[in-house]
């Protein structure tokens, strides 16, 4: 952001990464340049902004105050830019979006590809976060909107669109489960189920589902990365107990097949597109939401 000094960008990056070296790598500048800017600021302010610890840097009390104010300035700058961009329609602008890991392939990339092709002056920033971090980022105004599996903390969120995203079983084409229209947890036992592990948002629900069937979920293979689970399933190691969103792209390309679980007491999962309650959205954000809503309608399991 050109309005702010070089120092503010360096300062926030060091606070975020806890290391001048890591901040330098992320910003593609020299560590000495960052160190020099911070030392100059500390000399001007008259107090240290960071504690120099053995394992890295941590903001001092003064640093925390400064960090809060800098982030406030950045948000105010973004709001001003939104208003200016709105005066120009969609000739230019920027949209910040937060999504869950399950959406890093397929629908979101397709929708954003169409959006930026139709509006070349519009740029999009994408943050891949866990479910609750998305809810917090949307509510705090750090992003324009977020795509997440239904959140327990929706008080400060407004849901703009939803899509069904059931839990189910993923397996390679030609697998015996392909002939089944209704699959239950008990049907997975003969096919080496691979379960999602923490911190994946569906992990707790899947493990509880197996426990209700009198099964010890820890007795089965598990993994905390859905991409790895899908790879194992494609290799024929077992069947993956996943959410539809995790495998939709693989199913569309014929790499996997999927059947929703039909067990009783299985709470349905829903993909939600959320914005902060009472937030005024820019033209660019509203247009991005329109493209994503269309993508969600196509991606919903039927």
Instruction: Report pLDDT for 154.
Output: 61
The pLDDT of residue 145 is above 50: yes
Which residue is listed with tokens 């891949």? 128
Both tokens of 103, joined, read 């959406």
The pLDDT of residue 230 is above 90: yes
Angstrom distance (rounded) from CA 81 to CA 155: 27
**3-state secondary structure (DSSP) of residue 44:** helix
Closest CA to 145 of 95, 190, 188: 95
Angstrom distance (rounded) from CA 54 to CA 58: 10
The pLDDT of residue 2 is above 50: no
The pLDDT of residue 78 is above 80: no
Give, in degrees to the nearest 5, the angle at Cα 136 between 141 and 14: 80
Task: Report CA-CA distances (Å) from 170 to 99, 232, 239.
Answer: 22, 11, 6
pTM more than 0.75: no
* Residue 149, phi then psi, degrees to nearest 5: -75, 145
Angstrom distance (rounded) from CA 251 to CA 112: 21
Cα radius of gyration rounded to whole Å, the chain:
23
Sorted by where each starts, the structural domains of the chain and their CATH numbers stand as: 6-68 (1.10.10.10), 91-163+270-299 (3.40.190.10), 167-260 (3.40.190.10)
Give residue-wise pLDDT tens across range 89-131.
Answer: 656 788 999 999 999 988 999 999 999 999 888 899 999 999 8
């Amino acid at each position: 952001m050109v309005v702010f000094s070089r120092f503010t960008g360096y300062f926030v990056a060091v606070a975020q990464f806890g290391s001048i070296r890591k901040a330098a790598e992320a910003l593609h500048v020299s560590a000495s340049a960052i160190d020099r800017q911070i030392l100059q600021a500390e000399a001007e302010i008259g107090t240290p902004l960071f504690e120099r610890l053995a394992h890295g840097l941590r903001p001092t009390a003064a640093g925390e105050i400064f960090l809060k104010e800098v982030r406030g300035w950045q948000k105010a700058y973004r709001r001003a830019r939104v208003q200016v961009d709105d005066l120009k329609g969609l000739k230019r602008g920027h949209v910040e979006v937060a999504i869950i890991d399950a959406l890093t392939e397929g629908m979101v990339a397709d929708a954003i590809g169409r959006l930026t092709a139709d509006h070349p002056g519009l740029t999009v920033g994408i943050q891949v976060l866990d479910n609750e971090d998305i809810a917090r980022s949307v509510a705090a105004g750090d992003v324009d909107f977020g795509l997440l599996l239904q959140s327990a903390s929706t008080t400060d969120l407004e849901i703009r669109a939803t899509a069904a995203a059931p839990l189910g079983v993923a397996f390679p084409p030609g697998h015996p489960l392909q002939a089944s229209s209704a699959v239950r947890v008990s049907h997975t036992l003969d096919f080496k189920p691979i379960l999602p592990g923490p911190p994946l948002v569906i992990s707790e629900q899947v493990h509880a589902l197996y426990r209700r069937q009198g099964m010890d979920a820890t007795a089965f293979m598990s993994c905390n990365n859905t991409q790895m689970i899908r790879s194992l399933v494609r290799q024929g190691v077992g069947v993956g107990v996943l959410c539809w969103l995790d495998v939709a792209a693989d199913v569309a390309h014929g790499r996997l097949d999927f059947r929703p679980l039909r067990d009783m007491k299985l709470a349905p999962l829903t993909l939600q597109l959320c914005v902060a309650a009472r937030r005024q959205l820019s033209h660019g954000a509203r247009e991005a939401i329109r493209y994503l809503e269309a993508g969600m309608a196509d991606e919903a399991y039927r």
